[in-house]
Amino acid sequence: MPEGRQDRYKVFVVCYRPDRATPEVHKQKFAEAIKKTPGWAKYFESTWFVATQENAGDIFERLRPHINPMDYLLILRAENSPIGALPKKGWEWFKSVRKVNEGGTG
């Protein structure tokens, strides 16, 4: 996460399921576009967590050029504290987003 930002970050869950016919280059470009987000993490095959000041519509418009018409893409804002089973590094990522939003450094 970027350090010392004054604006709050929102966390989104981005689920992407490419169609079988989607060229590998589109999948790679999609991943590159996600990685341009200020904060991102990936612990599932087709799901990313992103921390950004963008809204869901902005994220969709940024990713749209990298998907095919038969691909599936779902962007949900994660508004509650996460609960589940992730590696320690995953929980540290969520903690760093919270810390930045509280005015600390990530």
- Each residue of 69-96: pLDDT tens digit? 999 999 999 987 788 999 999 999 998 8
Residue 4 has pLDDT above 50, yes or no: no
* Domain tally, the chain: 1
Inside any domain, residue 1: no
Inside any domain, residue 80: yes
Dist CA 91 CA 31 (whole Å): 21
- 50 forms bridges with which residues in the sheet? 12, 40
* Structural contact between residues 72 and 57, judged by C-beta atoms closer than 8 angstroms: no
pTM, full prediction = 0.84
What does the pLDDT look like over 20-46, one tens digit per residue?
Answer: 988 888 899 999 999 999 899 999 999
Q: For residue 15, what are the domain limits?
A: 10-101
pLDDT of residue 49: 95
Residue 106 has pLDDT above 90, yes or no: no
Inside any domain, residue 87: yes
**CATH assignment at residue 50:** 3.30.70.240
Dist CA 84 CA 86 (whole Å): 6
pLDDT of residue 1: 52
Inside any domain, residue 5: no
Chain centroid to Cα 33, Å, comes to 10
Joined together, the tokens standing for residue 18 give: 């490419």
Inside any domain, residue 68: yes
Inside any domain, residue 97: yes
Inside any domain, residue 35: yes
